[in-house]
Chain A
Amino acid sequence: MTPTLRNELLRGCVVVAMMAILSLTAIVPFPIKPNVYLVALVVLAFVIDDLLVFLLFLLGVLAWLKYTPFVTMELVALGGMGMGIYTLRKMLIREPHVLLMVGTLFVFQVIFWALFFGRQIFVVPFFMEFFYNVLILLVMYSVWVWAKRIFS
């Protein structure tokens, strides 16, 4: 394993570990649960270059999310979205950019809501979830930047 690959793995682990902790924590007083899995996938897709490493973390995120004995449509959709974001980013973006991450998060949150919550998307809970998602994204990305300094 090359040092670059090892460092990328370690930095990704920090993000996934944070996602796991946040998913187990009631972090907000309101009855809106942020989609930490989607946020983690967006961050990972933007910061990981190696496809195999990304696939590894994608599977890790989906495995953490899988709480039923069968594969749910949410898992399939999140997997597809993760791959879509990674492919797009890999083709077009070289360096992670926070605003692009936020934009990507918004678009894929819309897609997620459209798939699973029907017609009404742009309602208050959507924007509250997006607000929390952005906060988590900023924290995750900051942690990744910190981890990059440590593991480099």
Chain B
Amino acid sequence: MKYIQFILILICLLVGTSVFATSVFIKKPNFLLGSIQEVFSPVSLDDQRKLIQENEDLKNQLYAGQHTIVISPQETIQAKVFSLYPFNTKNRLFIDKGDQNNIRVGDVVLLSPRVFVGQIQNVTKAASEVSTVFDGGLNVPVRMGSEEVNGLLQGGVTPRITLIDKAKKVHVGDLIVTATKDMPYGLTVGAVREVHEDTLGAFLEATIELPYSINDLRTVFLAR
């Protein structure tokens, strides 16, 4: 009799474990599994969320690789950036190429064949002035993430993406690319750092993680 009790207890343990901690027999509520795994599993839910986020980032990178433009070196002009040291001006850059190099207002300034830095604002004979994303006057339509959500890049001390439809999903880490007709489509502006509602609560806003530090720029490329 005792042996049978022992075997029954073992069977109960086996069934209980299978039901509550695995999805082999019964698809149980996620919160139960989550709470059990949160307590016991070496891979916590935080780690799982990080893995999911990492997966999303990789998807973004894959998307970026497929959809962002790469301008060939033949199509660009290389320019050196003038130093404004010791001033910490970020909204403007001055480069050593100008009218004599066929630079025109509106030309796009790139860090690499795909990373957007700014747009030519003024041109002199041997130099040009570049409006960067830190310039309050810069407004560029952009798209974000693999769902290509529309937004407007507004330059400023803290550049941000505004007028994002609240019904659309924008995730932290989503790639931001240019989508204006005035420049090549798909130049990388940066990645979404944080998403929140705007002051009126009508739209979403996103802050930007730039892939460069503006003060570290020494050489840029110009494309038309």
Q: Which residues of A contact B (CB under 8 A)?
A: 73, 77, 88-89, 91-94, 97, 100, 103-104, 106-108, 110-111, 114-116, 118-122
Instruction: Decide: A116 and B42 in contact? CB cutoff 8 A.
Output: yes
Q: Give the shortest distance, in Å, between A71 (CB) and chain B (any CB).
A: 13
Taking a contact as CB atoms closer than 8 A, the residue among B2, B14, B21, B24 that contacts A107 in the complex is B14
CB-nearest residue of chain A relative to B21?
Answer: A114
Residues of B in contact (CB 8 Å), total 21
Residues of A within 8 A of B9 (CB): 88, 92
Q: Which residues of B contact A (CB under 8 A)?
A: 2-3, 5-7, 9-10, 13-14, 17-18, 21-24, 33, 37, 40-43
A106 to B13 Cα, complex, angstroms: 11
| Majority DSSP secondary structure for residues of A touching B | helix
| Total residue contacts A-B, CB cutoff 8 A | 59
Instruction: Decide: A110 and B14 in contact? CB cutoff 8 A.
Output: yes
A113 to B6 Cα, complex, angstroms: 21
Instruction: Decide: A73 and B40 in contact? CB cutoff 8 A.
Output: yes
A121 to B22 Cα, complex, angstroms: 7
Residues of B within 8 A of A88 (CB): 6, 9
CB-nearest residue of chain B relative to A108?
Answer: B13
Instruction: Decide: B24 and A119 in contact? CB cutoff 8 A.
Output: yes
Residues of B within 8 A of A93 (CB): 2-3, 6
Pull 15 A–B residue pairs with CB atoms less than 8 Å apart, ordered by A: A73-B42, A77-B40, A93-B3, A93-B6, A103-B7, A108-B13, A110-B14, A111-B21, A114-B22, A116-B41, A118-B37, A119-B21, A119-B23, A120-B22, A122-B24
